[in-house]
Amino acid sequence: MLRKPIVGLVFFLATVALGICQETDVSDSSDHPLFTRMAGFYISDYSVKDFDTYESLMTGPDSTWAGKTTRIRYDLKTGAKQPSMTQIAQNYAAALRKIGGKVLVDQGRMIEGKIEKNGSVTYIHAEGFNDGGNYSLVIIEKGALQQEVVADAASLGASIASTGKVVVQGIYFEADKAIVKKESGPALDEVVKLLQQNPRLSLFVVGHTANVGNLDDSLRLSNDRAKAIVDALVDRGIAASRLKAVGIGPYSPAASNRTEEGRALNRRVELVEQ
């Protein structure tokens, strides 16, 4: 007569034990190097992306975060002491201040802030849920999208034939300078190939900048960068008479200047058919 209740109890206990055993960090996860976790929590969800964006509650230039993005969700282990949501957020606020950061938004159970050190900027969002039963962290290490695709000569030529212009992907400059980085070599080689295959083609090399800082400085920088590309192509054997450098600064944006991602797209070099 007692067999079914006993079987049911065994099943219940086994289920509880299994649940407790599964309260471990998901595979390939870890705390972010800047912050430890609250006591009694494990990582239930985890992701890292080389580049992503996040819309924060801040206003002004800090409203959109962009860069390497780490997202971590922590859940409370069975039997562990449960903190309040405010306790969780304020613990991260204190940790942020301790490493030299600033809290810019504080809504009790949620805080947002940033750390500026050695020329780098890191943003953090910490928020408690379910009366403190779990919480999430979003940490973004600010940086622009790195272009990994380099157009080949054929696609460059096809775009010029159809629209009269093309953006050259894979051109890089040192920050705020007209010095072409060596990583630009493969893209420059494809432009050379395009010009060699089309001996009658002449090009305007047009430099663009994002709409930040002084306008005159932006125009000067865009023109200097266009000249630097012309010089690099001439050094590779292209006749200078086939190329003309033009800098138009921020006057022809490809995207909104309100986000770091948009500004990265606006900093570009275009080839325009003469």
pLDDT at 128 over 90: yes
pLDDT bin (cut points 50, 70, 90) of residue 2 is very low
Asked whether residue 17 is assigned to any structural domain, the reply reads: no
Domain that holds residue 108: 25-142
Domain boundary residue, one of 94, 122, 142: 142
Asked whether residue 4 is assigned to any structural domain, the reply reads: no
Judge if 43 and 77 occupy the same domain: yes
Tokens read off for 122: 């890191």
For the chain, first and last CA: distance in Å? 95
pLDDT value for 150: 66
pLDDT value for 96: 92
pLDDT at 209 over 80: yes
Which among 138, 229, 225, 128 is positioned nearest to 185, based on CA atoms?
229
Of 257 and 222, which is predicted with more confidence?
222
pLDDT bin (cut points 50, 70, 90) of residue 21 is low
pLDDT bin (cut points 50, 70, 90) of residue 272 is very high
Domain boundary residue, one of 113, 142, 171: 142
What's the total number of domains in the chain?
Answer: 2
Q: What are phi and psi of 271, to 5 degrees?
A: -105, 125
Strand duo 102-106 + 110-117: pairing: antiparallel
Phi-psi domain of 262 (left: phi exceeds 0; alpha: psi -120 through 50; beta: other): alpha
pTM for the structure as a whole: 0.53
pLDDT tens per residue across span 55-105 = 888 777 678 888 889 999 999 999 999 999 999 999 999 999 988 899 999
CATH number of 167's domain: 3.30.1330.60
Asked which of 67-71, 170-174, 184-188, 229-233 is least confident by mean pLDDT, the reply is 170-174
pLDDT at 274 over 60: yes
Give the residue-averaged pLDDT of 147-163.
Answer: 80
pLDDT value for 18: 46
